[in-house]
A and B are shown apart, each in its own frame.
Chain A
Amino acid sequence: DTEVTQTPKHLVMGMTNKKSLKCEQHMGHRAMYWYKQKAKKPPELMFVYSYEKLSINESVPSRFSPECPNSSLLNLHLHALQPEDSALYLCASSPWGGWDQYFGPGTRLLVL
Chain B
Amino acid sequence: DQQVKQNSPSLSVQEGRISILNCDYTNSMFDYFLWYKKYPAEGPTFLISISSIKDKNEDGRFTVFLNKSAKHLSLHIVPSQPGDSAVYFCAAAGNAGNMLTFGGGTRLMVKP
Contact = CB atoms under 8 A, between A and B. Distances in A.
**A and B from one assembly?**
yes
B104 A42 contact: yes
A99 B93 contact: yes
Given A42-B89, A42-B105, A97 B43 contact: no
Most B C-beta atoms less than 10 A away, residue of A45, A56, A101: A101
Nearest to B99: A45
Contacts of A100: 46, 49
B44 interface: yes
B66 to A, nearest CB: 14
A92 B34 CA distance: 15
A38 to B, nearest CB: 11
A50 B98 contact: yes
Interface in A15-61: 31, 40-43, 45, 48, 50, 55-56
Contacts of B44: 43, 90, 103
Given A98-B93, A99-B34, A48 B98 contact: yes
For this complex, into which size category does the number of interface residues on chain A fall?
20 to 34
Contacts of A90: 43-44
A77 interface: no
Contact of A56 (B89, B91, B93, B99): B99
Nearest to A90: B43
B42 A105 contact: yes
A91 B43 CA distance: 8
Nearest to A101: B100
A105 B36 CA distance: 13
Contacts of A40: 105
A4 B45 CA distance: 11
A56 B104 CA distance: 22
B46 A101 contact: yes
Top 6 A-B pairs, shortest CB-CB distance: A103-B43, A42-B102, A99-B93, A98-B97, A99-B32, A97-B98
